[in-house]
């Protein structure tokens, strides 16, 4: 992918836009099984990220992602801040020194991001968290890359899998994070973090497709 730095910046712009547009919906989901702040947390985080990365135009993807990570960690707060911060930091490390990112690099970055979230949050699939959207997304991305599909198509598969994973959180019993305090009452609600994770994967796929 030529222009990987410009595409990375465009992805961060799109994610910011999508978090702003979906802040109310994410907060509504978090009101049902959490403390009703996930949308404002994510919008606040990316609103802080955007001006910083806009000022870094021309710097390599890893530098943009590292700034994204540190900014999310210092502005999002709650559970999601450190988790997404770790994800972007691990992705940055996976892409360190790369200016021309290919399918395998994107897969390595997604894989590292998910492993970072799992290490930080100690969540496994099936616990009703962002891991439930990201695990199928990374699996689908890996399968598509191994099949030799092009990057836009591979990311479309990842986004579709993330959406299915997000929807699959509805009947799950939450055993991590605030939603776990509700026990059985967490069943029947879509997880806010799985929803923001799906939105991020979809935003990446949309930008790469264009």
Q: Give the residues lining the site for ligand ADP (CB under 6 A).
A: 30, 34-35, 37-38, 41, 78-80, 83, 117, 121-123, 129-131, 176-178, 191-194
Task: Please compute Rg for the chain using Cα positions.
Answer: 16
CB closer to ligand ADP, 13 vs 120:
120
CB closer to Mg ion, 78 vs 152:
78
Minimum CB separation of residue 37 from Mg ion in Å reads: 4
CB closer to ligand ADP, 30 vs 103:
30
Structure token pair of residue 63: 């530098």
Residues 142-181 binding Mg ion (CB under 5 A) are: none
Minimum CB separation of residue 38 from Mg ion in Å reads: 5
131 neighbors 119 (Cβ within 8 angstroms): no
* Cβ-closest position to ligand ADP: 193
The interface region with Mg ion, picked from 31-39, 55-63, 65-73, 154-162 by CB under 5 A, is 31-39
197 neighbors 130 (Cβ within 8 angstroms): yes
Residues near 100 by beta carbon (within 8 Å), at least 6 away in sequence: 1, 2, 4
- From the list Mg ion, ligand ADP, none, partner contacted by residue 39 (C-beta under 5 to 8 A by kind): none
185 three-class SS: helix
15 neighbors 8 (Cβ within 8 angstroms): no
Structure token pair of residue 98: 């790369």
């Amino acid at each position: 992918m030529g222009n990987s730095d410009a595409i990375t910046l465009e992805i961060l712009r799109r994610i910011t836009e999508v978090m702003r547009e979906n802040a109310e919906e994410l907060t509504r989901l978090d009101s049902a099984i959490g403390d009703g702040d996930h949308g404002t947390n994510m919008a606040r985080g990316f609103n802080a990220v955007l001006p910083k990365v806009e000022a870094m135009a021309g710097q390599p993807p890893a530098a943009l992602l590292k700034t994204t990570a540190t900014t999310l960690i210092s502005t999002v707060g709650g559970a999601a801040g450190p988790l997404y911060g770790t994800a972007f930091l691990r992705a940055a490390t996976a892409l360190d020194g790369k200016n021309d990112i290919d399918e395998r690099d994107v897969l390595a970055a997604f894989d590292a991001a998910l492993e970072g979230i799992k290490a930080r949050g100690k969540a496994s699939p099936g616990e009703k968290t962002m891991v439930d959207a990201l695990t199928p997304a990374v699996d689908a991305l890996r399968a598509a890359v191994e099949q030799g599909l092009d990057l836009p198509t591979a990311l479309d598969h990842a986004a579709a899998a993330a959406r299915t994973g997000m929807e699959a959180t509805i009947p799950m019993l939450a055993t991590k994070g605030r939603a776990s305090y509700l026990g059985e009452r967490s069943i029947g609600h879509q997880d806010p973090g799985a929803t923001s994770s799906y939105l991020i994967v979809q935003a990446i796929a949309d930008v790469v497709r264009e």
